[in-house]
Amino acid sequence: MENTAAPAAPVLPPRSQPRPPQRYRRPAPWLGLVAIGYAVVQLAMVIPHTGHALGWDESVYVSQVDPRTPPAYFSAPRSRGVSLLVAPVVSATDSIPALRILLMLLSAGALYGAFRVWTRLLPVPQVALAALLFSGLWITQISGPAVMPNLWVAIGAVAAVGWFLRVPDEPNARWWLAAVLAGVTLVRTPDGGWLALPLLIGAIGTRTWRPALLPLIGGPLLGAAQWIGEAYDRFGGIGERLSASSDVEGGMGLHFTVGAALRSLNGPQLCRPCEVPLRHPELTVWWLALPVLTLLAVHTALRDRQEQRRVRVGLGRPAARPPAVPLTVLPIACAATLALPYLLLIGYSAPRFLMPAYALLALPIAGLVFRAVRAARSPQHLAVALGVIITLHLASQFVILDHTAEQSETTTGRYRTAAKGLQRLGLRPPCLVTGDRALPVAYHAGCSSAQTSGNNRSTSLPTLLRRAAREPTALLLRRGRARPPAYARTWIAYPLPGTEWNAYLPPDQAREWEARKSRQETSGNGPNMGAMTMTPPTTSWAGFAAAEPAFADYAQDRFRRYRHHVLATLRQDGSPRVTPLEVNFLSGELWLGMMPESRKALDLRRDPRFSVQANPGPGEDLTEGDVRVSGRAVEVTDPETLAGFAEEVRPPEPFHLFRAEVTEVVHTARENGRMVLRTWRPGQPVRVVTPGGDDTPPRVED
């Protein structure tokens, strides 16, 4: 039978729907976020503590370009790049917060720019992690708004190594390399040379890097031109400047300071001499892991190179694309050359010295982290675990940062307080400050600074004394510790409230200050002098003798007539204690010797105020007069001074020895049938009071 059914219609395939166009997803700006976070941390945790005053080294750098203050002594090891960096803002304003904020913005921008160089060499997330590891360190955060060179060396080192690695593929990279090396050398000349050294060796040994030879030589020379010119102008040559630098650093030579570097990992910011214990050892895991992670990164890079060679000859299957060996080894080599001088050539340590090494090591360590995640069986779980570890590390750095920033605020706050105290004492520009911490205190007071000894020796003693004779001058010494130098034994000491220093003023200057203060008190303006009027000034016995030689000779003779006298001290509850005592006059000082652990010695250790009454002698009349000396007792612990006193006086040993800082000498005598009181205080003339009768007020003579 014939099939008459109509043929079935052909089945057409379904029409494919047009695919929606893929959206372009911009990669997350991880590096930019890290830079912004770095700025935010500085603004929130650092600037509130450091925005009121400058530190010691900062005062030196800023004073070179500040038109409002005399430049501080610029020692041989320093370079002027940081001063030039802040010159525009310092010339325009004296606001320290403005300076801090500018440096915050510059450091965050420079961090972004330096690590961005590496985004052509490594994946962006890996570069961002490296930037996070470096910028998350407490020393990096506190250095961001600081007028110090080490952070800029670290940032420049990251950029320089990156541009060097890009030289074979980018002709313009060598000029960027030259510019960065010039900047690093201008900021800190020796570090520029140490940074260029391994790059120069690599360029000489590898053909593809030889186009970088000219920038590697020309860049550092350009940056060091100012340093070299200053070496010939101020020191007589490069060798002489290097020799002077060695003297300032305590003698350049073989010094194994790795232990000092370890003890100062969590502060202080300068460890010289470094005798402090390690603070918060539990927060040092990252620092101790750095060498181990660095070795692992090198081992991994070398093993990956071996696997690549095996793939080329068909002995294995391709592995995940690893970073090239130079991307790992070269930053480590540069980190080593920048760190070794501070670990082996100087005798002290500071965490900021190793910042360039930390910045460069962050790059291979970040690569090691990403490679570990890619090679893990469960990459997500390992990534989460590593993220927790990094978060804990950053949190530990914030703890150290908070503590260190508070310490910095305390230290620099004392500089500012001392400067205000000097201004209350009449020091106005032009003026001169010398002694302990003179450089930063002088800067904040608007004065010049000068030292006759030590690392910052900038003048001779005759020159200092000539300047002291024609302009207001102050010598700063730690209260109760140091005896004034010989030239200042007769100067008057004024305690600076809120600090640990006494300000010693020349006698003529002190008398002028006391006369001005007296006039202001008489006119009713005395309270404007502030807390400076609350603590009496002091001087040595030699200072009293220089001011009133006849009075001093008489008082000294009264004490020498008898062996035993009466000492008044303060008990712990504030009540008086009166005990017998022998006194001695030696080398222009009044000395108080006591038996070990005696009650009066313990009183003076707790509260140094005292009065010693000369033995009035037999009888009831005051024919010989009565002498009382009041002041503050400073315990002497110097072995040489103790030995000299023991040889001269031969007291029973052991003994306590105190040096008297005189605040008042009173002489009471009967003259012409009437009582006469003579009182001398440092910086003031002798005040004579003759008590009157019941209806007659006392007569006062100055």
Q: Give the pLDDT confidence score for residue 11 in this predicted structure.
A: 55
Residue (of 233, 201, 236) closest to 216 by Cα position: 201
CB of 441 within 8 A of CB of 499? no
Co-location of 367 and 322 in the same domain: yes
CATH of the domain at 685: 2.30.110.10
Domain boundary among 206, 229, 248: 248
Co-location of 448 and 525 in the same domain: yes
E strand segments, 222-294:
none
213-222 per-position pLDDT tens digit: 999 999 999 9
Domain boundary among 533, 557, 587: 533
Which residues make Cβ contacts (< 8 Å) with residue 344, sequence separation at least 6? 254, 255, 256, 257
- 223 inside domain: yes
Co-location of 529 and 545 in the same domain: no
- 9 inside domain: no
Distance CA(618)–CA(668), nearest Å, equals 16
Q: Give the pLDDT confidence score for residue 256 in this predicted structure.
A: 82
Co-location of 553 and 638 in the same domain: yes
Co-location of 232 and 280 in the same domain: no
Whole-angstrom CA distances from 113 to 87, 104, 163 are: 22, 14, 12
CB of 370 within 8 A of CB of 301? no
Co-location of 515 and 566 in the same domain: no
- 602 inside domain: yes
Domains in the chain, number: 5
Co-location of 270 and 234 in the same domain: no
What is the domain range of residue 649? 541-701
Measured between alpha carbons, how far apart are the two ends of the chain, in Å? Answer: 155
CB of 56 within 8 A of CB of 106? no
Co-location of 311 and 208 in the same domain: no
Q: 């001269």: which residue's tokens?
A: 648
- 618 inside domain: yes
* Beta strands 687-690 and 699-701, pairing class: antiparallel
- 388 inside domain: no
Co-location of 571 and 638 in the same domain: yes
- 17 inside domain: no
Domain boundary among 507, 533, 559: 533
- 19 inside domain: no
Co-location of 221 and 293 in the same domain: no
- 680 inside domain: yes
Pick out the chain residues at pLDDT < 50.
1-2, 24, 315, 317-323, 527-533, 695
556-591 per-position pLDDT tens digit: 999 999 889 999 999 999 999 999 999 999 999 999
Q: Give the pLDDT confidence score for residue 12 in this predicted structure.
A: 54
Co-location of 333 and 243 in the same domain: no
Co-location of 366 and 420 in the same domain: no
